[in-house]
Homo-oligomer: A and B are copies of this chain.
Amino acid sequence: MFNRILVANRGEIALRIIRACRDLGVQAIAVYSRADRGAEYLNLAHDAICIGGESPGSSYLNAAAILSAAEITDVEAVHPGYGFLAENATFAQMCRDCKIEFIGPSAESMRLLGNKVAAKKLAKKSKTPCTPGSDGPVESEDQAVDLASEIGYPVMIKAAAGGGGRGMRAVHNEASLRSHFRNARAEAENAFKDGTLYVEKLVERPRHVEVQLLGDPSGHVVHLWERDCSLQRRNQKLVEESPSPHISARTRRKICDAAVRLARAAGYYSAGTCEFLVDDQENFFFMEVNTRIQVEHPVTELVTGVDLVQWQIRIAAGEPLKLKQEEIEQRGAAIECRINAESPEEDFRPSPGPIQHLFLPGGPGVRVDTHAYSGYTVSPYYDSMIAKLLVHRPTRDEAIAAMRRALAEFRVSPIKTTIPLHQKLFEHADFLRGCVDTGFVERTFGPATWKPA
């Protein structure tokens, strides 16, 4: 096992990695930007070092600064967390070139799976169902139109290098396809410096179901069952749960096996997630593979009892993945709410600033992952998530009751949070019945619903 690793991230995921290090007896070196100086979680690291200014570009996205920090603190590995450099194959290669292990998959599989077109090719090869569409880049508007009329509207325009919804367009007829094609390309150019687009059939009212994977370099790959992340707003996940209330045991098996096949085909190791869209008939279609630990990983930790972050570190340190597929059980029901410093009443405008009072929920079945505390200031420079609130109970209904209880206990002031939205979600009949799709939140809780009473 490593003696010392660098935590190349901030906030709750940095704390999560520091906790895993403490549990493994590994020294964690935290890095921080000037904006995060003095944050409590830095005191839980063996040491902390300032690597840059407030802007991510000068700190958490600054590969040179992070590697310099790694050199002067003499670490053996770097954990990138999620976001920032987590899925940057070049950074992974830079680390390894400096003889510092990157805690994640190989740069090759990151590149392979990071490219949607290549990933889709691989999916087909490994018999993982994909949405019908262009099996490669669509060069021109006209080609896109021909393809669309062939597979039938509605279709989705997507950026090959895309993510977070940028460069994505749903179009329902030729006119809108033509009008959106150009600006989708421009957006992709800006966002990813790669204007390559492709077109595929739009799955209507889709559920978002993803499969958690763990693998080691020897080729041993297991799944840790699925998470349902259908509650999203503008492609940002709000609530995640396991098991998915949308799929039968039979579909669960099929979708998990498909994910494992794909990971094996990609020579994938470390932790990763294979995302699918599922329609009302439980047909599932491959979306993409995330080659990092995800925000919602604790949902899987609760139902399986497996510590995913510890395993990432173990695998990077050369430990064989000892988990056997048949030993990994999906026990009870777990749900996560992402608590963001945003004001639902003001179209989810970020609400940064000092937290004067923070009362965290606790008691039976509750897990809280947060770097915040009374006196912590939510920085405007980074994403607005201040806490992950999770519950784990024997059944989904009990988990929902426990989440209601925990949301009622959770007090943050004076900043605004998404807690009021979560409280509405956990009272809504459609969610309680477990039949929502990725458009549910925007349809049901649009700005109109937040008019001051």
Report the bound CA distance from A394 to B328 in whole Å. Answer: 13
Q: Is the CB of B367 within 8 A of A362?
A: yes
Stretch from A105-113, A338-346, A370-378, A415-423 at the B interface: A370-378
For chain A residues 354-398, which have a beta carbon within 8 Å of chain B?
A: 357-360, 362-370, 373-375, 394, 398
Which residue of chain B lies nearest to A21 when distances are taken between CB atoms in the complex?
Answer: B405
Pick from B301, B331, B364, B370: contact of A301, CB under 8 Å: B364
| Residue interface mask A289-311, B partner, CB < 8 A = 1 | 00000000010010001010100
Asked, given contacts A363-B367, A367-B363, A374-B374, whether A398 binds B40 with beta carbons under 8 Å apart, the answer is no
For chain A residues 407-435, which have a beta carbon within 8 Å of chain B?
A: 408-409
Pick from B359, B367, B401: contact of A366, CB under 8 Å: B367
Interface residues on chain A, number (Cβ under 8 Å): 41
Which residue of chain B lies nearest to A376 when distances are taken between CB atoms in the complex?
Answer: B359
Which residue of chain B lies nearest to A44 when distances are taken between CB atoms in the complex?
Answer: B409
User: Shortest distance in angstroms between A267's beta carbon and chain B's nearest beta carbon?
Assistant: 29
For chain A residues 303-360, which have a beta carbon within 8 Å of chain B?
A: 305, 307, 309, 331-332, 357-360
Pick from B362, B398, B402: contact of A369, CB under 8 Å: B362
Asked, given contacts A44-B409, A373-B359, A409-B44, whether A404 binds B364 with beta carbons under 8 Å apart, the answer is no
Residues of A within 8 A of B (CB): 15-16, 19-20, 22-25, 40, 44, 298, 301, 305, 307, 309, 331-332, 357-360, 362-370, 373-375, 394, 398, 401-402, 404-405, 408-409
